[in-house]
Amino acid sequence: MQLQLSSTDIIFILSTVIIVIVLLILIVIYGVFIKKKSELLLIQQKKEAIFEQELARSQEELQNQTLKYIGQELHDDLGQKLSVARLMTNKIAYAPESDHTQIAEEINLLVGECLQDIRNLSKSFIGQNNDGFNFIESLEREVYRMKRLALLEVDYKINQQNLKFNAEHGLILFRIIQECITNVIKHSRSKSIQLVVEDHPRYTKFRIKDAGVGFKSARHTDGIGLKNMISRAKIINAELKINSIENKGTQVTLTYKKQ
C-alpha cells in the first residue's frame, strides 16, 4: 500500500526543509560572525596592549632623559656657579673693605642665577611628569637645551604654536623626535640641525635635518635605533621616512595623521 501525500503535505514538508536549511545557514553565518568579531577584538586588544607598552616605555625613557639632564645641569652649571660663589665669599675676608660691596653684588648675582636655574630645572621635571603632557613645551625645552649646552647650531621653525595632540600620541611623537636629535648629536658629526614643524588641517609634518656624514641606505632599518622609531610611528598611525646621502647628511620626515 503506497503512502499518498497530498499537496498540502508536500508544501508542509518543503516548507519545513527550507526553514531548517535557512536556520542552518543563519547559524553558520552567526558562528562565522562571532568568530570574526572575536578575532577582530583580539587584534584590537593586542594593538592596545602594544600601544600601552610603548607608552609606558616612552614615559620611562623621557623621565630618564630628564633626570640625566638635571644631573648634568646640577654638576656642570649649578656646581660651577656655586663653587665660584663660595670662592668669592672666602675672598671677602682677604679683600680690601672697598671691594666688599662689589664682591657681595657679584655673589648675589650668582646666587640669583642659581635660583633661576633651579626653577627652570624644576619646571622641566614637573612638566615631564604630569599627566597633561605638553608637546610644544617639551619640544622647545629640547631646543633650548641644545642651544644652552652649545651642542649644535639649531634652526627651529614652527608655523603653529597652538599645536594640540592627544597627550599619549604627543609623548610618542616627542620621543621619536628626541631620538632623532640624539642620533644627530651622537652619530652625524654635524655642527648644525634643522627642526621644522609644519601643521596642516589633516596632518602635522616634522622634519629633522643635519649636515653630517650620512649613511648608506642598507643601514636605514638596521642602524642607530631606526627600527625602534619606525615601529613607534606605526603605533600612532604616523609615517617615518629617512633620506640619507653619505657625506651630505640625513633628513628624517615624520608625518602624523590627525585623528
219 belongs to a structural domain = yes
- Residues in a beta bridge with 207: 196, 253
| Predicted local confidence at residue 1, as pLDDT | 47
- Taken as a whole, the chain contains a residue count of 259
210 belongs to a structural domain = yes
The verdict on pTM exceeding 0.85 is no
Helices (H) and strands (E) in the chain, counts: 6, 5
User: What digits encode the pLDDT tens for the residues 219-241?
Assistant: 555 555 677 788 888 888 899 99
240 belongs to a structural domain = yes
Of 122, 161, 167, nearest to 140 by C-alpha is 161
DSSP state of 28: H
138 belongs to a structural domain = yes
* Mean pLDDT rounded to a whole number for the chain: 81
Q: How many domains does the chain have?
A: 1
| Predicted local confidence at residue 85, as pLDDT | 77
| Predicted local confidence at residue 123, as pLDDT | 66
93 belongs to a structural domain = no
User: What digits encode the pLDDT tens for the residues 68-97?
Assistant: 766 766 666 677 677 777 877 887 777 788
When pLDDT is averaged across residues 91-114 and rounded to a whole number, the result is 81
237 belongs to a structural domain = yes
Residue 154's domain is classified under what CATH number? Answer: 3.30.565.10
**Structural domain range at position 152:** 134-259
Of 175, 166, 228, nearest to 61 by C-alpha is 175
211 belongs to a structural domain = yes
88 belongs to a structural domain = no
